[in-house]
Chain A
Amino acid sequence: MLRGDADMNNNILMKKSINIKKFLLDYALYIALLGIIILFSSKSETFLTVMNFKGMLMDATPMFSVCIGLTFVFLIGHLDLSVGMNMLICGSLGGLAIVKMGLPPMIGLLLMLLIGIIVGCINGILVVKLKLNPWLATLAMKLVLQGTALLCTNTDSVRAGKHVNQFKFNILGIPNYVILLVVIAIIMQLILKYTSFGRQVKATGSNSLAANKIGINTAKVRFAAFVISGLFAGLGAIMTTFNVGLVGPSTGDGYDFTAVTALVLGGVSLSGGRGNILPNALVGVLFLYIIENGLAMVGVDPYLFTILEGVIVFLAMMFDSMKNKN
């Protein structure tokens, strides 16, 4: 009895000191984010303004959309490197349908989603059915998609923006598509957290052998993750069309690795099973966009951003490993 009490007291003390350290490690990203915001606002007057942040949110919508989908692929322990070029081809073909073929803009937008889903299905077949390595399969897919998109558009920009302007309006000063994406992100997070599908995704990524053994259809779950990834690349194309007004040859360029960076930074585990859309994916994306924007505001060489991006990933991984050690 006595020993139990002593142990318990000990435990409580231990817990307290661990908690402070754990708190710092758990929220390192948020603390860093806060520090960066303070730093940039002291260096630039335009940085911490509603205008600037609104613009930043709008610019971040395509990347955030891609990251929502990619989170599912991360959670099952795979990778999808085709997301950027998937977004390009969705935007290009959907845009061409509106601009060149004169289809109603709404049909064009739905087409973007559909193409994204189709690409996701193909990725799913390659990885799940044909058991190809997801890195190589989606890398090959990325090249095929990029070539196809450039071929179809003749490397011209597809300017569908003016056709979809009719759908755009502001709610309390915020563009409706930004709000739409946030709502969708919340829904997807709820699906992840509170549905059996979400649980099965995490279980599959956490231990696919075990998931298989208890009768979860892991092939179906993994396939679904790739389809969702494709769908959100399509939504990313819609966001681009709304935000920039056009889809050009450089749209989606580098999105694949930036998205991976954002997720890793936000704390979505590359090995599967751990991570969420809210807050992890969102914070990861915001972090990168705030730094990029802030550096531009301060007037730093844009190449510095690339270096910084690398350093940030190193630091994020380091904190993560420190956290796991505890």
Chain B
Amino acid sequence: MGNFSLSVKNVNKQFGGVQALKDVSFTAYGGEALALIGINGAGKSTMMNILAGEIKMDSGSIHINEEEIKINNQKDAVKNRISLIHQEAVVFKDLSVAENMFINQLDRYMKNGVINYPKMFETANEYLGKLGVAINPKTLVQDITIGDRQLLEIARALSQDSKIILFDEPTSSLTIEEKKRLFEIINQLKQENNIIIYITHFLDEVLEICERAVVMMDGAVTGNTKTEDATIDDFVKMMVGNSIETVVNGERTISDTPILKVKNLTRAPMVNDVNFIVHQGEILGIWGLLGSGRTEIIRAMLNLDKPQKGIVEFRGQDGKMREMRGRKLLQNVGYVTEDRHVDGLFFHMPIWKNITIPDLKKFGSFILDEKKEREAAKKQIAALEIKTPDEDVPVDKLSGGNQQKVIMARWINKQPNLFILDEPTRGVDVNAKNAIHKLIKEFSEQGGSVILISSEIEEILNLSDRVLIVKDGTFVSEVAKRQMTKQVLMEQSLC
């Protein structure tokens, strides 16, 4: 097993008219973690899915220890001891941990036509023990955390004797603790001479956990290097071709005019007596750890989850602050979240309808002026550089970054006084991210206010005029632009 290796050679894959993979070749070795990095649409997930047997390549070959293997479906992948750990664990919530673990090998536990549960639980315990996690295998999956579900998928992979384990953005929904635990497990897997292939957007993770990195751009490999020889800057250059500037909002004076006032907002247990003010033209950053209540505060404020207590005041056209809630407030602000799939887009509708939908009044009191709508949409498509042949394309045909731009376009078209952005660039590639950052900055320069929530500390640091720190469902402190450093934000939110 000394030179255990997995090679892909000249792999090509076409989707419709798009060349998703172009002559991709690389080799991963046992005992190493190989990072596969690139912006959205670079082809990393396609490559993973080919290895896992979820899609078939058009041409090329896959080799284990120099010997060619065929992967036509998931079964072939399992046979060749390859497992994919999905970004969102593929689990059945109503079944137990053990059942989930052995779901595709239940035959092994059949005795006289029924499942031998004691034996199954025992074996499940064994594999969970190997990973050093204490989950009762009898627990229903709906009762365990997202982090534990992911470990369950890893345990499932181990139970299938997998030696090649593919991770697709494994940390995107983990807490800091869970992430630490995952990295320990990955290190352990490496010590046992497994091959790890690790897809991520987070370059610091690449430096931390991976020995080598393959960089992809537009479906082709643009870099293949040892991680100790490269810096984050090097990677970014390989990912986007030429270097791009980051948008930074310097220190500036903000008016005292409030646009939004929130008083005593409470929704137990996640929102506890929250008070804050947003000023005109200000970008207000909200920083806190996952689970601190930052998203819940906004949802309670907008009445999407009904608060038990609290007053929200919003400045009207006449410049007077008055109480406003629920739908009225939603109509007056632009609310963008990372969940564009869940509650953002109208997937089968064309881009233009997605852009004009919140502001139909502008296009006619009852009968809509389609021509005007299309013109407005075209303007936004050009302004935000949404990559599409025309405005008639349904949004489900766009890439993630462009979808997020459509949502931004929707609100920019409407020109609300206040933007509420909750992880606006999550899962969006570097170029789209920069474009969105530029939009946010321009919007505030024109007098619009922004509430910005993000897990990415750079995003908060670069854009915010002022940061409120959330902990345990309430704002514990405020950081002005001058004192804003990574150190300060991390300390304030942890201590």
A198's closest neighbor in chain B, by CB? B368
Partner of B367, one of A194, A206, A210, A212: A194
Chain A residues close to B by CB (< 8 Å):
7, 10-11, 14-15, 18, 194-197, 199-200, 202-203, 206-207, 209-217, 273-274
B328-351 interface mask toward A, CB cutoff 8 Å, 1 = contact, 0 = none?
A: 101100010000001111111100
A269's closest neighbor in chain B, by CB? B348
The answer to whether A199 touches B358 (Cβ under 8 A) is no
- Given A207-B346, A215-B358, the answer on whether A197 and B366 have CB atoms closer than 8 Å is yes
The answer to whether A213 touches B331 (Cβ under 8 A) is no
| Neighbouring B residues of A18 by C-beta, 8 Å | 16
| Neighbouring A residues of B328 by C-beta, 8 Å | 215
The answer to whether A196 touches B345 (Cβ under 8 A) is no
The docked-state distance in angstroms from the alpha carbon of A194 to that of B360 is 11
The docked-state distance in angstroms from the alpha carbon of A282 to that of B19 is 41
Q: How far is the CB of A221 from chain B (nearest CB, A)?
A: 12
- Given A209-B343, A214-B330, A217-B327, the answer on whether A11 and B357 have CB atoms closer than 8 Å is no
The answer to whether A212 touches B343 (Cβ under 8 A) is yes
A18's closest neighbor in chain B, by CB? B16
| Neighbouring A residues of B370 by C-beta, 8 Å | 194
The answer to whether B17 touches A210 (Cβ under 8 A) is no
The answer to whether B330 touches A207 (Cβ under 8 A) is no
The answer to whether B348 touches A273 (Cβ under 8 A) is yes
Query: Given A196-B368, A212-B304, A214-B410, 13 other A-B contacts at CB below 8 A?
Result: A195-B367, A196-B364, A203-B346, A203-B353, A207-B346, A207-B347, A209-B343, A210-B346, A212-B343, A213-B304, A213-B344, A214-B357, A215-B330
The docked-state distance in angstroms from the alpha carbon of A14 to that of B15 is 11
A-B contact pairs, 9 of them (CB 8 A): A10-B17, A195-B364, A196-B360, A199-B360, A199-B368, A202-B349, A211-B357, A212-B304, A215-B358
The docked-state distance in angstroms from the alpha carbon of A217 to that of B361 is 14
The answer to whether B347 touches A14 (Cβ under 8 A) is no
- Given A206-B347, A274-B348, the answer on whether A14 and B16 have CB atoms closer than 8 Å is yes
- The 7 lowest CB-CB distance pairs between A and B, nearest first, are A209-B343, A215-B331, A215-B330, A196-B360, A214-B358, A206-B346, A11-B17
The docked-state distance in angstroms from the alpha carbon of A194 to that of B327 is 24
**Size band of the B side of the interface?**
20 to 34
The answer to whether A210 touches B368 (Cβ under 8 A) is no
The docked-state distance in angstroms from the alpha carbon of A18 to that of B14 is 15
- Given A194-B370, A199-B357, the answer on whether A213 and B346 have CB atoms closer than 8 Å is no
Partner of A203, one of B327, B357, B365, B367: B357
The answer to whether B360 touches A200 (Cβ under 8 A) is yes
Chain B residues close to A by CB (< 8 Å):
16-17, 19, 304, 327-328, 330-331, 335, 342-349, 353, 357-358, 360-361, 363-368, 370, 410
A204's closest neighbor in chain B, by CB? B346
The docked-state distance in angstroms from the alpha carbon of A273 to that of B361 is 21
The docked-state distance in angstroms from the alpha carbon of A14 to that of B18 is 10
The answer to whether B330 touches A213 (Cβ under 8 A) is yes
The docked-state distance in angstroms from the alpha carbon of A302 to that of B353 is 46
| Neighbouring A residues of B327 by C-beta, 8 Å | 215, 217
A210's closest neighbor in chain B, by CB? B343
| Neighbouring B residues of A273 by C-beta, 8 Å | 346, 348-349
Most buried by B among A200, A206, A217: A206
The answer to whether A196 touches B331 (Cβ under 8 A) is no
| Neighbouring B residues of A206 by C-beta, 8 Å | 346-349
A219's closest neighbor in chain B, by CB? B327
Q: How far is the CB of B285 from chain A (nearest CB, A)?
A: 22
Partner of A195, one of B304, B335, B353, B368: B368
Q: How far is the CB of B45 from chain A (nearest CB, A)?
A: 20
Q: How far is the CB of A260 from chain B (nearest CB, A)?
A: 20
B218's closest neighbor in chain A, by CB? A3
Partner of B344, one of A194, A195, A210: A210
| Neighbouring B residues of A214 by C-beta, 8 Å | 330-331, 335, 357-358, 410
Q: How far is the CB of A192 from chain B (nearest CB, A)?
A: 11
The answer to whether A195 touches B366 (Cβ under 8 A) is yes
Q: How far is the CB of A108 from chain B (nearest CB, A)?
A: 32
| Neighbouring A residues of B344 by C-beta, 8 Å | 207, 210, 213
B353's closest neighbor in chain A, by CB? A199
| Neighbouring B residues of A274 by C-beta, 8 Å | 348
A274's closest neighbor in chain B, by CB? B348
B410's closest neighbor in chain A, by CB? A214
| Neighbouring B residues of A209 by C-beta, 8 Å | 342-343
Q: How far is the CB of A271 from chain B (nearest CB, A)?
A: 10
| Neighbouring B residues of A197 by C-beta, 8 Å | 366
Q: How far is the CB of B19 from chain A (nearest CB, A)?
A: 8
Q: How far is the CB of B295 from chain A (nearest CB, A)?
A: 13
Q: How far is the CB of B101 from chain A (nearest CB, A)?
A: 32
Q: How far is the CB of B126 from chain A (nearest CB, A)?
A: 42
| Neighbouring B residues of A210 by C-beta, 8 Å | 342-346
A15's closest neighbor in chain B, by CB? B17
A207's closest neighbor in chain B, by CB? B346
| Neighbouring A residues of B365 by C-beta, 8 Å | 196
The docked-state distance in angstroms from the alpha carbon of A7 to that of B218 is 13
| Neighbouring A residues of B347 by C-beta, 8 Å | 206-207
A202's closest neighbor in chain B, by CB? B349
Q: How far is the CB of B412 from chain A (nearest CB, A)?
A: 14
Q: How far is the CB of A228 from chain B (nearest CB, A)?
A: 16
A199's closest neighbor in chain B, by CB? B360
The docked-state distance in angstroms from the alpha carbon of A207 to that of B348 is 10
The docked-state distance in angstroms from the alpha carbon of A109 to that of B348 is 39
Partner of B343, one of A7, A195, A207: A207
B361's closest neighbor in chain A, by CB? A196
| Neighbouring A residues of B346 by C-beta, 8 Å | 202-203, 206-207, 210-211, 273
The docked-state distance in angstroms from the alpha carbon of A15 to that of B343 is 32
The docked-state distance in angstroms from the alpha carbon of A207 to that of B353 is 13
B349's closest neighbor in chain A, by CB? A206
Q: How far is the CB of A206 from chain B (nearest CB, A)?
A: 4
Q: How far is the CB of A215 from chain B (nearest CB, A)?
A: 4
The answer to whether B345 touches A207 (Cβ under 8 A) is yes
The docked-state distance in angstroms from the alpha carbon of A213 to that of B367 is 23
The answer to whether B17 touches A213 (Cβ under 8 A) is no
A220's closest neighbor in chain B, by CB? B327
| Neighbouring B residues of A199 by C-beta, 8 Å | 353, 357, 360, 368
Q: How far is the CB of A128 from chain B (nearest CB, A)?
A: 15
The answer to whether B330 touches A194 (Cβ under 8 A) is no
Partner of A14, one of B17, B348, B361, B363: B17
Most buried by A among B346, B358, B364: B346
The docked-state distance in angstroms from the alpha carbon of A214 to that of B345 is 10
A7's closest neighbor in chain B, by CB? B17
| Neighbouring A residues of B353 by C-beta, 8 Å | 199, 203
| Neighbouring B residues of A14 by C-beta, 8 Å | 16-17
The docked-state distance in angstroms from the alpha carbon of A215 to that of B420 is 14
| Neighbouring A residues of B342 by C-beta, 8 Å | 209-210
The answer to whether B368 touches A194 (Cβ under 8 A) is yes
B369's closest neighbor in chain A, by CB? A194
| Neighbouring B residues of A195 by C-beta, 8 Å | 364, 366-368
The docked-state distance in angstroms from the alpha carbon of A273 to that of B304 is 23
Most buried by B among A203, A211, A214: A214
The docked-state distance in angstroms from the alpha carbon of A211 to that of B348 is 14
The docked-state distance in angstroms from the alpha carbon of A267 to that of B448 is 44
Q: How far is the CB of A326 from chain B (nearest CB, A)?
A: 9
B304's closest neighbor in chain A, by CB? A213
| Neighbouring A residues of B19 by C-beta, 8 Å | 7
